[in-house]
Structure 1
Amino acid sequence: MTVTKDHIIAEVLNHDRTLAPIFMQFGLHCLGCAAANNESIGEAAMVHGIDADALIDALNTYLQSK
């Protein structure tokens, strides 16, 4: 899997739960909230003032290292 800004947060976590700490390191702590089921990574990053590209890079780097 290659994560993009368009992926829904819950879909990414359903693919690999071990990604949760990376989301939290970037300030996305409410991974179980209703918004996570409908909100893309790009949308969440914008709302929370997070660098979406850095988050995507971190997620994909982790996935590639597995």
Structure 2
Amino acid sequence: MIEIKKDTIIGDILDVAPQTAPIFFSIGMHCLGCPSSRGETVEEACAVHGVDVDKLLELVNQEANKAAE
């Protein structure tokens, strides 16, 4: 089971759960391949994009762990 937290780096998430990319795209994080965005934490990215970090974490964790169910 993958546990994604506020301080998890987006690039690390995409490496282990690439299926989560559409969630990031849907909230305006369109530069997932850029070195700066891949190095951001979930919390930093949410602050920049005005997104509730707890809601995003819930969605991303659900998607990342679908295969494990």
Per the TM superposition, whether the score is higher than 0.5 is: yes
- Shift in Å, 1:60: 0.9
Normalising by the residue count of structure 1, what TM-score does the alignment of the two structures yield? 0.88
State the distance in 2 between where 1:46 and 1:12 align: 18
Aligned residue type for 1:3: I
Q: 5+ residue gaps in structure 1?
A: none
Mapped to 2, the partners of 1:51 and 1:27 lie a distance apart of: 13
Aligned-residue CA RMSD (Å):
1.1
Which residue is equivalent to 1:42?
A: 43
Between the aligned partners of 2:63 and 2:38, the Cα distance in structure 1 is 22
Unmatched tracts of structure 2, length 5 or more: none
Partner SS for 2:48: helix
The alignment's TM-score, normalised by the length of structure 2, stands at 0.85
